[in-house]
Amino acid sequence: MERIKKFIDTLFELSSRYCGESLVNDLRIILEKAEALEQELLLKAKKDSKEETKAIDEIRIKFYSDNLLSFCQKNLKEDLYLGYLLELGKICLDFGEVNYSEYVYSLLIQLAEGKPKYKNLLAQAYFNRAEVYVRSSRWKLAENDLKKARQIFNEKKDKKGLARVDNLNGIIKSEKGAIKSALKNFNDALSSFSRLKDELWIGIVEMNIGNLKTIQSHWDEAVTHFKRALTAFEKLMDLKRLSLVRYNMGMLFKNRGELEAALTEFDRSLEYALEANYYLSTGLAFLGKGDVYAKLEEYAVAMEYCIRAMEVFYKIMDKVGLADTYKIKGIIQRDTSNYEIAETYLLTSLRISEEIESRLNYAESAYELGILYRKWNKPDLAKKYLKISEKYFAELGAQENLERVKIVIERTNGSK
């Protein structure tokens, strides 16, 4: 409920900047009165029919968003209205309203296409909609929008725009397991942002390179990149990015087996995420804590955090997050000897990972399935999934994971 209140307040703040505080306050009074009257009617219907009725959060969000959108369209000149849409889409994405963010950017693209004076806005809209598609693992749609954005940025000789495209292409490639190609994209972007002396984007790319180094178990290099990112974000007091880099540092510590340090970083990430109303990092921090508590064998606490993470990821349509959450829930069920449930969860994680072409998640889920089938005395299935995991970890260059799975394969082959 608190998130929805903050989201609605942020919508009104944005609208006030564009249309004037007085006009927007008048509209707010009208909309709040309408909401109250409708709630009265709902309560009467509940009393008469004895059926349970309640205000649905999704309806409240759409109710205010749609009416503010109509109000701004009526009161703003076209160029200001398009600028409003660009900012509105970003707010919606940050608050986890992925569908509405996509709708807003699509509307902006529709209005700006074919009008040369809005070329810059059009490029930004394509880029931002690509970010929405990346968030929901729709890689092909993202790549199509990035091509369109790159074409306009090229025409305009917008070096920063081109570097941002390189960075986002790197994220897509890293999610799909093309680590070398992703690293090239990131290095190209970092060179451009360094020449432009853009501290924020230098920090963002440093963080992304750190993530690749974590996948490859190059811990010291990863820490170096994360520290550079952290310095940049702290200087700018960018709470959203601070929440992300703290989460990524937590993942590094978790993978190194430093679980208490990992928990500290996940707690810091969550603190920043909640302060910034950043739904993505909130879900990631919940899941990170769930993962660590599972490793500490505190399964009740671990499951609580996984369920909270899953709620967020379903809300924001984050399939990578969902695949990870099903994997951790599967591990918890496996380690508490609920093998049938564990199998269901891990197969779901595997399926989602395959659908979104996430090779790292696929390798990790296959590995956990192999461990499950070993414990379940199903050696043929164990070998099958461990071999799949070995293949993918080798392709990713995830050396420590590869060595770990090879040891398990040897033990499986040596067991009767």
- In whole angstroms, what is the distance from residue 216 CA to residue 214 CA? 5
Which pLDDT belongs to residue 46? 67
> What does the pLDDT read at residue 51?
45
| Short-list 92, 71, 70, CA closest to 8 | 92
- On whether the CB atoms of residues 353 and 361 are closer than 8 A, the answer is yes
Q: So what's the pLDDT on residue 1?
A: 63
Q: What is the pLDDT of residues 3-33, one digit of tens each?
A: 888 999 999 999 999 999 999 999 999 999 9
Burial 179-214 (b: 16+ CB within 10 A, else e): beebbebbebbbebbeeeebbebbbbbbbbbbbbbb
Whether pLDDT at 263 is above 50: yes
Which pair of structure tokens corresponds to residue 227?
């520290």
Question: SS3 of 362, please?
Answer: helix
Q: Name the phi and psi angles at 40, rounded to 5.
A: -60, -45
Instruction: Return the closest-CA partner of residue 240 out of 278, 183, 205.
Output: 278
Q: Are 108 and 86 in contact (CB under 8 A)?
A: yes
User: Among residues of the chain, what percentage have pLDDT more than 70?
Assistant: 96
Which DSSP category does 54 fall into?
Answer: -
CA angle 187, 192, 193 (to 5 degrees): 95
Residue type, 89: G
User: What is the chain's length?
Assistant: 416
Cα distances from 370 to residues 33, 134, 362, 389, in angstroms, run 58, 30, 12, 8
Instruction: Tell which phi-psi region holds residue 278, choosing left (phi > 0), alpha (psi between -120 and 50) or beta.
Output: beta
Q: Which amino acid is at 247?
A: Y
Residues 151-209 pLDDT 10s? 999 999 999 999 999 999 999 999 999 999 999 999 999 999 999 999 999 999 999 99
Predicted local confidence at residue 306, as pLDDT: 98
Instruction: Kindly state the average pLDDT of the residues 96-125.
Output: 96
Averaged pLDDT, 96-123: 96
This prediction's pTM: 0.91
User: Tokens 């190059």 label which residue?
Assistant: 218
Average pLDDT over residues 364-385: 96
Place of tokens 């942020």: 10
Note the pLDDT of residue 57: 66
Q: Is 116 exposed, middle or buried (0-12, 13-18, 19+ CB in 10 A)?
A: exposed
Q: How far apart are CA 376 and CA 369, in angstroms?
A: 10
Q: In the structure, what pLDDT confidence band is assigned to residue 47 with cuts at 50, 70 and 90?
A: low
Mean pLDDT of 384-412: 92
Q: Which residues, at least 6 apart from 183, have a Cβ–Cβ distance to it below 8 Å? A: 170, 209, 212
What pLDDT was estimated at residue 61?
A: 86
Q: What is the mean pLDDT of the chain?
A: 94
Element spanning 196, H or E: helix 179-196
What is the number of other CB atoms lying within 10 angstroms of the CB of residue 26? 12
Give the residue carrying structure tokens 């993978």.
Answer: 255
Q: What is the pLDDT of residue 40?
A: 82
Please give the structure tokens belonging to residue 250.
């937590």
pLDDT of residue 337: 96
